[in-house]
């Protein structure tokens, strides 16, 4: 059975200057992005350097993963992978 790629991608090693809007703009060429959010430090509200991008289509998420993983953005090599499900 083939492994299904999720609709949500985890993006790491982002510049601290990256914004939610810029993250969405970076991934929008690959398809409809329903959400792009950076994880921020609760006290300082500064980005921690990673975030999540959610696509409306699994095929679009797969295209973005292949195209953006290992790409240099704002002078930093970023990594993109399928976000892991966490049970709470």
Query: What does the pLDDT profile of the chain (88 residues) look like in tens digits?
Result: 344 456 999 999 999 899 999 999 999 999 999 999 999 999 999 999 999 999 999 999 999 999 999 999 999 999 999 998 765 4
Question: What is the three-class DSSP state of 42?
Answer: coil
Q: Count of H helices and E strands in the chain?
A: 2, 6
Alpha carbons 48 and 76: distance in angstroms, whole number: 14
pLDDT at 2: 44
pTM of the model: 0.88
pLDDT at 85: 77
- Domains in the chain, please, with CATH? 1-50+63-75 (3.30.70.330)
Strand partners, 38: 51
Q: Residue 4 in contact with residue 58, Cβ under 8 Å?
A: yes
């Amino acid at each position: 059975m083939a492994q299904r790629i999720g609709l949500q991608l985890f993006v790491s090693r982002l510049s601290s200057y990256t914004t939610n809007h810029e993250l969405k703009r970076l991934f929008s060429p690959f398809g409809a992005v329903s959400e792009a959010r950076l994880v921020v430090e609760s006290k300082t509200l500064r980005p921690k350097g990673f975030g999540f991008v959610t696509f409306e289509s699994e095929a679009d998420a797969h295209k973005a993963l292949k195209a953006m993983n290992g790409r240099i953005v704002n002078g930093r090599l970023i990594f993109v992978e399928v976000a892991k499900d966490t049970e709470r």
